[in-house]
Structure 1
Amino acid sequence: MEGWWSTTGGFLLCLSASLLLQGRANTFTINCSGFDQHGVDPTVFQSVFNKKDFRPVINFSIPTHINISFTLSAILEVDAQLQLLTSFLWLKLIWNHPFISWDPEECGDIKKLAITAENLWLPDIFIVESMDVDQTPDGLSAYVSNDGRVVYNKPMRVTSICNLDIFYFPFDQQNCTLTFSSFLYTEESMLLGMDKEVWEIMDDSRDLVRTQGEWELLGINKATPKMSVGTSLFDQIMFYVAIRRRPTLYVINLLVPSSFLVAIDALSFYLPAESENRAPFKMTLLLGYNVFLLNISNLLPATGTSLISVYFALCLSLMVLSLLETIFITYLLHLATIQPPSMPRWLHSLLLHHTSPTTHRPTVPQKEITGLGLISTHLSGLKEPGKLGGKELGPKEAELNGGSGLTRAQLVDLWVQFGHMMDNLLFRIYLLFLAISVTTVLVLWNT
């Protein structure tokens, strides 16, 4: 009797387990009676729709694996002042739904269905750097396969924080990050993976980008750091997006006009120093350069220090120094013709050595100085102090000429010659400083 109960109990236990397992298995298999040539009966998936508020797992200790990929289809705007990058993405999420499965052979050879996304559980994947509310359009659908594989695609206009470095503007490159993570589920409940390799995402993005705007895509890399919030640890995938600015617009509208104005200012040194048009010409150039800077202010970065701003400041400083040099030379020549001061012996010797090192005699070109109304004379030799043309000067005349023994005409010629020598020296210093400044800026831009 005892053996009979033992045998009967074992049979009942096996029967109960078999029925339970069969019932549980039938729970995850969708009845194909709702599939026909006219479509799918929504009631077939009603049990799945009723569970959309819960993470679809058989055992809650098993994390859900979400595979992520995206396609960067456009770079809409880069705001250097607010440090924001606005881009357009096509986000793709893939996961497995264990409560959805059917046999395609018994269900009219249907292997994939499109189901409205609001009827399914969706992972709360968001972009950590995003500074805007998710504006995903309503009515999107997800593809569900017969093996429970769910593919959800959604378009996203993303405004994200990006640490922008505008020092090398307009030849700058920026590296921005897009970090995908879950807002609610820790790594015990959700793990993130890749649906595609990074190079595939890069190739798809490069092929899809249709806009030939200011920015171009250089490359995409990824990293998989963990995000710790308190005692919770969240899985995440970080993508590094490298973009480069197309500088053609700024080279044509900024650098070329500025370079032309500076080149014209440098060539203006070849105007005669005695000419009355040299200083007004440089003042007109300086005024025009200031108007040029006012007109291009909307093309320059609003915040931060950029190399091109330093370049414009150097150009403006050089033009101001050029004008000051012209004013100094004009004043020196004017003073030489009106009331030439006595010339120091060291300056006299320097002029003699500069003009004729062999004879130590100043040679002044025999030409008419139109701006001053003087006629330069060739100095055949310096007379002894107190003498002129074999005639001795009186004490009063010698005192008026500083006791140097030079006539007024000779003194004027020496000061005019000194003015031209200073003009030539300052012009060379100007060119040297201009060449060093431009070369330094170009080297920094190339690096």
Structure 2
Amino acid sequence: PRESWPRKEGLTWSLFSIGRANAFTINCSGFDQYGVNPAVLQAIFDQKDFRPFINYSIPTHVNISFTLSAILEVNVQLQLLTSFLWVKMIWNNPFISWNPKECGNINKFAVTAENLWLPDIFIVESTDVDQIPEGLSAYMTHEGDIVYNKPARITSVCSLDIFYFPFDQQNCTLTFSSFIYTAETMSLGMDREVWEIVDTSRDIVFRQGEWELLGISKATLKTFVGSRLFDRIAFFLAIRRRPSLYVINLLVPSSFLIAIDALSFYLPAENENRAPFKITLLLGYNVFLLRMSDLLPASGTPLISVYFALCLSLMVVSLLETIFITHLLHLATTQPPPMPRWLHSLLLYCTGSRRCYPTAHQKENKGLGLTPSHLPGLKEPGELVGKEPGPREAKRNGGSELTRAQLTDLWMEFGCRMDTFLFRLYLLFLASSVITVIVLWNT
């Protein structure tokens, strides 16, 4: 059977007066054989409600470090960052010491944290109560150092800028401070170097979640709250969103749709399917925006929303251009209006021997397999433009200088030229807009 503990008198605390000694000394003989006797620690447990100090003028020094294990949520609408931390705090209790040689080289052992005095360190930016799990323990060393680790789910206020979404980078601050102990009674320091915190946290955060950790920097502050001076340590977290999900689900489909809309200009302008095709694309793009709205930030105006609005506007302008050209060609083939002299001269200047559209006479002749050279008296449209009409032709055209066939040919030529010009203008505006958006994202 296991040998019971000796009587309490064998393991006692020797409390010296302040003038003779400044610490409790634990007689720890038997700890390595029978375990820790809780009775000998009762004097320490009874002091848990008070800051452990021998000289009140000497502040308790608390070293702080943490490991960022997860970035759970970034709420743009509420401007909140929810993260999960493992916070580590180390301080010294001057009333704890023992000789490891008397305890089988036991240098430390764990004690339930609720039996010890704990510093009231909190995060200034936190918006909720830190709910610490029950039953946590802390390590006590033979020199009186207390090592306390606790998990913390922190929801903190962070100024978020989502203009560059989904290529955005955010900078948030976590400020550790005491709630009631001023700088005269508690000072804060670092348990580890910042680069060690970054390396450990980056290895964990890198493997999970939507965000990646870029870096952490710190600043030691002394802040007045009213007339009271508090010691604080501020950590600045730089995080970046992983954009692959949004590129695949948002940018790639949108780019495909706008590219198909640009290619639809190669359909013949007189084709009846050109306008319906653009309307179908426009409706499809609106359905795409409705389905993908859940992936966009709930508030603010990110650059990607401007990009989507720009693409939608270009598709609407493209449809309007098609309606205008179709209406112009319809007038040219049914009831061509008189052409202004300046427009006639411009077409004569810009038009070469090659035409974009055949005249009505050419279409009929091509159906029979004939060319203008096979038909006596029929000239090429380029030759008709400069030829003065006869009296009968002028009379049929309402007294104008050109016949109906010539007007039809000129208006269709004008429609072809306008379609080409507007298409090039569309491509220029599209390319400049996309390049501008890409440059802004890269900055």
Q: Same fold (TM over 0.5)?
A: yes
Q: Please report how far the alpha carbon of residue 22 of structure 1 lies from its aligned counterpart in structure 2 after TM superposition.
A: 8.5
Residues 1:393 and 2:395 are matched in the alignment: no
* Counterpart for residue 286 of structure 2: 290
Aligned CA distance change for structure 1 residues 373 and 58 (closer, same or farther; 3 Å): farther
Provide closer, same or farther for how the CA distance between residues 383 and 128 of structure 1 changes in structure 2, counting only shifts above 3 A.
closer
Q: Quote the Cα distance in structure 2 between the aligned partners of 1:418 and 1:436.
A: 27
Equivalent residue for 2:234, pick from 238, 241, 244: 238
Structure 1 position 298, deviation (Å)? 0.2
Deviations 1:86-141 (CA, angstroms, capped at 9, x unpaired): 11111000001000011111233221111111111000000111112111101111
The residue number in structure 2 matching 1:317 is: 313
Query: 1:9 — aligned with what?
Result: none
Deviation at 1:41, TM superposition (A): 1.2
For the residue of structure 2 that corresponds to 1:393, the secondary structure is: helix
Structure 2 residue runs of 5 or longer lacking an equivalent are: 1-14, 367-371, 373-378
1:224 is the counterpart of 2:243: no
1:35-434 pair list within 5 angstroms: 35-209=31-205, 211-356=207-352, 364=355, 367=358, 378-379=380-381, 380-382=383-385, 385=388, 387-388=389-390, 392-393=391-392, 396-397=395-396, 400-401=398-399, 403-404=400-401, 406-434=402-430
Query: What amino acid maps onto 1:47 in structure 2?
Result: A
5+ residue gaps in structure 1? 1-18, 357-361
Q: Which amino acid aligns with 2:272?
A: E
Contact 2:70-2:209 at 8 Å conserved across structures: no
CA distance in 2, matches of 1:323, 1:333: 15
For the residue of structure 2 that corresponds to 1:130, the secondary structure is coil
SS of 2:102's equivalent? coil
Identity, % of aligned pairs? 71
CA deviations over 1:266-316 (Å, ceiling 9, x no partner) = 000000000000000000000000000000000000100100000000000
Q: TM-score, normalised by structure 2?
A: 0.89
Alpha-carbon spacing, 1:164–1:425, altered in 2? closer, same or farther (3 Å): same
Which of structure 1's runs of 4+ aligned residues deviate more than 6 A? 372-377
- C-alpha change, 1:36 and 1:253, in structure 2 (3 Å) is closer
More displaced, 433-442 or 154-163?
154-163
**Contact preservation (8 Å) 2:216, 2:238:** yes
CA contact (8 A) 1:91 1:156 kept: yes
How far off its partner does 1:20 sit? 6.7
Indicate if the aligned counterparts of 1:363 and 1:378 stay in contact, CA closer than 8 A: no
Partner Cα separation in structure 2 for residue 197 and residue 307 of structure 1: 37
Offset, 1:445: 0.4
Structure-2 change in CA distance of 1:216 and 1:327 (3 Å): same
Q: What RMSD, in angstroms, separates the aligned Cα atoms of the two structures?
A: 2.3
Shift of 1:26: 8.0
State the shift of 1:333 in Å: 0.6
Q: Distance in 2 between matches of 1:382 and 1:319?
A: 36
CA contact (8 A) 1:111 1:146 kept: yes
Deviations, residues 329-363 of structure 1 (Å, cap 9, x unaligned) = 0001111111111111100000000013xxxxx76
TM-score normalised according to structure 1 size: 0.88
Instruction: Give per-residue Cα distances to partners, 1:30-87, cap 9 Å, x unaligned.
Output: 2235635111111111111111111100011110100001111111111111111111
2:12 — aligned with what?
none
CA–CA distance in structure 1, aligned partners of residues 242 and 33 of structure 2 = 54
Secondary structure at the aligned position of 1:62 is classed as coil
Partner in structure 2 of residue 4 of structure 1: none
**What's the secondary structure of 2:103's corresponding residue?**
coil
SS in 1 for 2:100: coil
Task: Measure, in 2, the Cα distance between the counterparts of 1:310 and 1:373.
Answer: 50
Residues 419-441 of structure 1, C-alpha deviation per residue, up to 9 Å, x if partnerless? 00000000010000000100000
Deviation of 1:393 after TM superposition, in Å, equals: 3.1
Counterpart Cα distance in 2 of 1:44 and 1:273: 97
Q: Does the alignment pair 1:439 with 2:435?
A: yes
Q: How many angstroms apart in 2 are the aligned matches of 1:26 and 1:407?
A: 118
Alpha-carbon separation, structure 2, partners of 1:338 and 1:270: 24
Is the 1:364–1:413 contact (alpha carbons within 8 Å) kept by the matching residues of 2?
no
Which is further off, 29-38 or 81-90? 29-38
Over residues 205-253 of structure 1, what are the superposed CA-to-partner deviations in whole Å (9 max), with x where a residue is unaligned?
1233364221111111101122211000110000011111111111110
CA contact (8 A) 1:283 1:323 kept: yes
Measured in 1, the distance between the counterparts of 2:156 and 2:394 equals 87
Higher mean displacement: 210-219 or 342-351 = 210-219
How many aligned residue pairs are there?
416
* SS, match of residue 192 in structure 1: strand
Distance in 1, Cα, partners of 2:277 & 2:229: 70
* Whole-angstrom CA distance in 1 between matches of 2:355 and 2:97: 106
Q: Which amino acid aligns with 1:378?
A: E
Give the letter aligned to residue 50 of structure 2: F
How far apart are the structure 1 equivalents of 2:314 and 2:282? 10
Which residue type is aligned with residue 239 of structure 1? F
